[in-house]
A and B are shown apart, each in its own frame.
Chain A
Amino acid sequence: MSSPERTWKTIESGPHTYKEALHPVVINNYGKWKYHEIPRPGVLKHVGESGDTLFTVRAGTPRQDTVDMVRQLCDIADRYCDGHLRFTVRNNVEFLTPNGENVEPMIRDLEAMGFPVGGAGNCVSSVSHTQGWLHCDIPATDASGVVKSMMDTLYNEFKHMEMPNKVRLSTSCCSINCGGQADIAVVVKHTRPPRINHDHLSMICELPKAVARCPVAAIRPTVVNGKRSLMVDEAKCICCGACFGACPAMEINHPEHSKFAIWVGGKNSNARSKPSTMSIVAHNLPNNPPRWPEVTDAVGRILTAYKAGGRPWERVGEWINRIGWKRFFEETGLTFDEDMIDSYRHARTTFNQSAHVRF
């Protein structure tokens, strides 16, 4: 990339500085906020020890944005927030203003532009997700499309605070699950071993690296048509796709056999129960673009049951802990099956090591 006429000398500055990004009221109350309230969906009111107040209006974005969209958001921030805004880790945009009178017109303008105001408090917030077909090199699906389809059906749950507690969603386009652990996660599940391109493999892959990448030692060196290659013990293979990341000649994605699974009960917060990992509750759902109706239906069933049965402050996983997995499957209409019994490392920790039984 070296260009001879280059005049700029790189400054390895790391993250962009943040102090100039903070609203003057934020600077004056930095580290001295006393409490906050949620006066209406999508609006936070922070009060400082100084007595200063700061209103935040939160809105959903597509996450896959454009410069035009970002400039629109900047117009709002210039009009109502003295040019200050921020984003949340779930891709919502937040506008910060000390002026309470700006809240209503700002909501009106955002909604008119198509950005729904909400996502705060006891509601379904926007989805943490991956890149998919748009830009990833190993995706089995398109996360943005799944998210758009899902959020269309959950639009009102984003805009109203009617859930027992906050609901975090994520989607991922492969089993690496870059979308992360969430109350409900939609994650690709491969169901067939990788298909190997023996003609290219030794030219584009480091064989020992691909062998070492397999968690169950199912990959072995071999020779095919006089060329060094790899073979997969298909009885051992757990269809994780780890080899594909190391070796593009071991294609794991398949238009029909790469399916979706639904996972529930992930929680990162330490509030009440310790943080928890997710459990699988549905799988073998089709990868069905452009609207993925089977996936949005399963997520909807879980949310309907949780909304009806969850007690105040219970996250999805905490609700299930109280009512038990048996009732969870009954109330969601999902089906527990033999594949949902863990067979991997630490499987025993998921067995019921007690005489506690639910009838």
Chain B
Amino acid sequence: MEENKGASACGSHGCSHSNGGCGEKFLNPTPMLDELEKGPWPSFVSGFKNLAERTKKPMLRGVMDQLEYSYNTKMGYWKGGLVTVDGYGAGVITRYSMIKDKIPEAAEFHTMRIQPPPGLHYNTAMLRELCDIWEEYGSGMLTLHGQTGDIMLQGIDEANVQECFDKLNEKGWDLGGAGAGMRTAVSCAGPARCEQACYDNLELHLHALRHFVGQLHRPEWNYKIKFKFSGCPNDCTNAIMRSDLAVIGTWKDAIQVDEAAVKEWIEEKGVDALVNQVINLCPTRAISLEDGGMKIDTRDCVRCMHCLNAMPKALSPGKERGISLLMGGKNTLKVGVNMGSLIIPFMKMETEEDREKFMELVEEIIDWWDDNGLDHERIGETIERVGLRQFLDGVGLDVDINQVSRPRDNPYFKAKY
């Protein structure tokens, strides 16, 4: 790689993407990566190259060289380590290059996980401040957003981490989670821009993550635990699959029907559409055709959201709104995919008291897991190993028929009688 520096292989560079003339290239040739500058979808490679040519940061040249090397050898070359800021035990993802003898310029390329505002709502002043600080101390490369829900500021030397954090922290930014503790949460757009939001998930997100801020910065549990907050059962944050604590908005009473808008919908789309696209797709056959219109039997409705999605102008969630709590969602490793399962069918979530009551419950749940879980065991795995009934007992929750899809199909248990 070293001998390539300053080489004038500008044909392979995609000159149009870079500043300056061909003779003054800052970057080394990256023919493999350049293939990813072709095609209509926005190219991260072009973005990186433009940034590198403008800022002339050696770290960016190094990371491009290392990525090109990976594309050639089909192996990764980063290893972890321990970098953090004063008083914290998590939040900086440490990356040292395993090939710094070959490519020294990206010997260190640490990531700072930063917690975004709930719902990923920004104003430009916030983002510009973030960008200015990041350009001063780091590489200027970032991800919006990582799979954890964090802003990932990618590429900083250990020597700059503390000062960069201080500058960000002064502007209201804090590090995200990592390791065996509370993790950064994710929320959908919520009531800020969605008619289906059944609770103020943005406020609960802020409240919950502030409540556990100590355990987020100083991990001390068996393993990670994640919240995700979806405003309704459409679950746009993928909470059921991707979080240990899935807080999903729902309602208890009847779907609100705007009869005039229903009529308008049928006039526009026809009765066939009403039957084929709404009534027939109701998973519990809760809707019937009546006098050319629709009738919903609330007792049969499971709040799946389909009819509301199909007829957003005509149908809205009921008035008695709150949350369902599902627990145990996680991906494949190592016992196979775990879908979250329902633990609390309904809780009101309107006032500060509601939120406090919810936090007390989550404290109980995490205490139980901390006492009963094994090392590297997510809470859903603990519940599966120990038993749902034992979990409910342990945290003092009521047994509810909604927690199971059906009663057990085997007779092997010891009853109290």
Contacts and interface: CB of A to CB of B under 8 A. Distances in A.
B50 A68 contact: yes
B209 A15 contact: yes
Contacts of A290: 32-33, 35-36, 71
A126 to B, nearest CB: 9
A258 B46 CA distance: 28
A18 B118 contact: yes
A1 B95 contact: no
Interface string A269-302: 1111111011000000001011100000000000
Contact of A21 (B111, B123, B140, B163): B123
A309 interface: no
Interface stretch (B166-174, B364-372, B394-402): B166-174
Given A180-B241, A271-B306, A275-B241, A289 B44 contact: no
A181 B238 contact: yes
A89 B333 contact: no
Interface string B81-104: 001111110000101000000000
B79 interface: yes
A33 B120 CA distance: 19
Contacts of A16: 115-117, 126, 172-174
A116 B197 CA distance: 28
Interface string A140-183: 11101100110110010010000000000000000111111100
B131 A71 contact: yes
Interface string A40-81: 000000100000001010001111111111110110011000
A85 B122 contact: yes
A128 B147 contact: yes
A212 B83 CA distance: 26
Nearest to B70: A133
A1 B83 contact: yes
B42 A277 contact: no
B193 interface: yes
A138 B77 CA distance: 9
B119 to A, nearest CB: 6
A277 B84 CA distance: 36
Contact of A345 (B45, B80, B303, B336): B336
A21 B333 contact: no
B312 A36 contact: yes
A83 B32 CA distance: 38
A359 interface: no
A311 B141 CA distance: 42
Interface string A3-35: 100101011111111101110001000110111
Binding site secondary structure of chain A:
loop
Interface stretch (B181-189, B289-297, B385-393, B409-417): B181-189
Nearest to B71: A289
A123 interface: no
B306 A152 contact: no
B63 interface: yes
A351 to B, nearest CB: 15
B3 interface: no
B76 A22 contact: no
A18 B42 contact: no
Interface stretch (B5-13, B20-28, B213-221): B213-221
A155 B38 CA distance: 13
Interface string B136-167: 00001111111100001010001001110110
Given A16-B115, A18-B117, A33-B194, A66 B127 contact: no
A62 to B, nearest CB: 4
A139 B75 CA distance: 8
A33 B124 contact: no
Nearest to A129: B147
Contacts of B40: 116, 152, 155
B200 A31 contact: yes
B39 A152 contact: yes
Given A15-B116, A271-B305, A89 B238 contact: yes
B359 interface: no
B383 to A, nearest CB: 15
A197 to B, nearest CB: 12
A214 B333 CA distance: 10
Nearest to B154: A135
Nearest to B189: A86
B71 to A, nearest CB: 5
B75 A253 contact: yes
A84 interface: yes
B241 to A, nearest CB: 5
Given A1-B84, A67-B51, A180-B331, A85 B174 contact: no
Contacts of A131: 143, 146, 152
B358 interface: no
A142 B70 contact: yes
A130 interface: yes
A255 interface: yes
Contact of A144 (B44, B77, B165): B44
A313 interface: yes
A139 B70 CA distance: 10
Given A66-B50, A67-B51, A151-B41, 10 more contacts: A15-B116, A68-B54, A134-B67, A136-B78, A137-B78, A178-B331, A255-B74, A268-B238, A268-B239, A270-B235
Interface of A: 1-3, 6, 8, 10-18, 20-22, 26, 30-31, 33-37, 46, 54, 56, 60-71, 73-74, 77-78, 83-89, 91, 93, 96, 114-116, 128-142, 144-145, 148-149, 151-152, 155, 158, 175-181, 209, 212-215, 240-242, 245, 248, 253, 255-256, 258, 266, 268-275, 277-278, 287, 289-291, 311-313, 344-346
In the A-B complex, the 7 residue pairs with the closest CB atoms: A152-B39, A255-B74, A18-B117, A64-B44, A133-B70, A31-B191, A270-B233
20 contacts: A1-B85, A13-B169, A14-B206, A65-B141, A70-B144, A88-B120, A89-B238, A116-B41, A137-B95, A140-B76, A142-B71, A181-B238, A209-B375, A209-B376, A215-B333, A255-B74, A272-B281, A287-B74, A313-B281, A313-B306
